[in-house]
Amino acid sequence: MISVIISSAKKELLQQVSKNIADTIAVAHEIIAFDNSAGAKGICEVYNQGIKQARYDILCFMHEDVAMKTADWGRVVLEIFDQNPNIGLIGLAGSSYRPLSPSAWNGYGSEYYYLNLIQHFKHSDKEAVLTHHNPGDKNLAPVATVDGVWFCTTQTLASKYLFDESIKGFHGYDLDFSLSIGQEKTVAVTFDILLEHFSEGRYDEVWLQNIVQLYDKWYHLFPIVLEPVTPSGQIFIERKTFKHFIGLVANSKMPLSVANRFLWKDSKFLKLSFLLFIKLQLYILIAWVKKALGLKVK
């Protein structure tokens, strides 16, 4: 039996996804939905309310702009948790490498991610596409973090590791929750369930602020490396991710000192590669000059 928890922004989307869930889940379930159309509460607060109200042993947190495409997916979820007692959290998109600098769920330049969903693009003219990436062709791929479009855990773990309500708004909660549960149990991406997502994420300044907050909180764990990575491969990922982070900071209202702080934080970049550290310091200097001249940093 599964409790499905949704923070709803649009009544019509909630009605659609509720019918879709009823048509596809194939197990006893309840939908705990909160009208958050005014955005008065952050998603962490909403999800914590859902945890307290949930009656069933398995909890599923999901967006409302989705459609489950796998028949009987509820049985799949119950089977995963029943047959894998080491699993604490499952999702449909996640990364087995979490870099040193603040980034989205899969970093940049990394092939160490797992993904299985049909993605639509609400903010562009791109056609919908099946985004499937599964190195090693695994049914369950251990990852550091999963994306928040859809994920499931147990009532016991959710009650123990509640969502961090100091994270305001609607970003970063998934990474934080993944890292919390990952201290005790395995976090994984399943390829036995397919979902259709009708909008893509937007990485705005609020998102950046949340990710910086999360990286400050969890920096003692980074980098998280769950698969073998060559030294040159790791340096490549870290360089690409940090360079992207510099651009995000430079083109926001944040001072570039934020990027510089992460470069020096706990001397981790310096220990990884002195040459990389020097290059990244140079990137920050170039970004500072461009910003001073009113130029966009790429």
User: pLDDT digits over 223-233, tens only?
Assistant: 999 999 999 99
* Structure confidence at residue 168 (pLDDT): 85
Report CA-CA distances (Å) from 117 to 6, 142, 168. 19, 17, 27
**Tokens representing residue 224 in the block:** 């998280």
Q: At what angle do helices 257-264 and 231-250 cross, to 10 degrees?
A: 160
Q: 173, 163 in Cβ contact below 8 A?
A: yes
Neighbours of 130 (CB within 10 A): 11
Q: 240, 246 in Cβ contact below 8 A?
A: no
Q: 90, 178 in Cβ contact below 8 A?
A: no
* Structure confidence at residue 123 (pLDDT): 67
pLDDT, one tens digit per residue, over 182-193 is 999 999 999 999
* Structure confidence at residue 86 (pLDDT): 97
Q: Which residues share a beta bridge with 91? A: 151, 189
Q: Which helix (H) or strand (E) holds 259?
A: helix 257-264
* Structure confidence at residue 122 (pLDDT): 73
Q: 116, 92 in Cβ contact below 8 A?
A: yes
Question: How far, in Å, CA of 94 to CA of 148, rounded?
Answer: 10
Q: 70, 76 in Cβ contact below 8 A?
A: yes
Q: Which helix (H) or strand (E) holds 182?
A: helix 173-182
Residues in the chain: 298
Question: How far, in Å, CA of 157 to CA of 279, rounded?
Answer: 42
Q: Which of 148, 137, 145 is nearest to 173 (CA)?
A: 148
Which stretches of the chain drop beneath a pLDDT of 50? none
Q: Which helix (H) or strand (E) holds 4?
A: strand 2-8
DSSP 111: -
Domain 2-206, architecture per CATH: Alpha-Beta Complex (3.90)
**Tokens representing residue 69 in the block:** 């495409």
Question: How far, in Å, CA of 127 to CA of 66, rounded?
Answer: 16
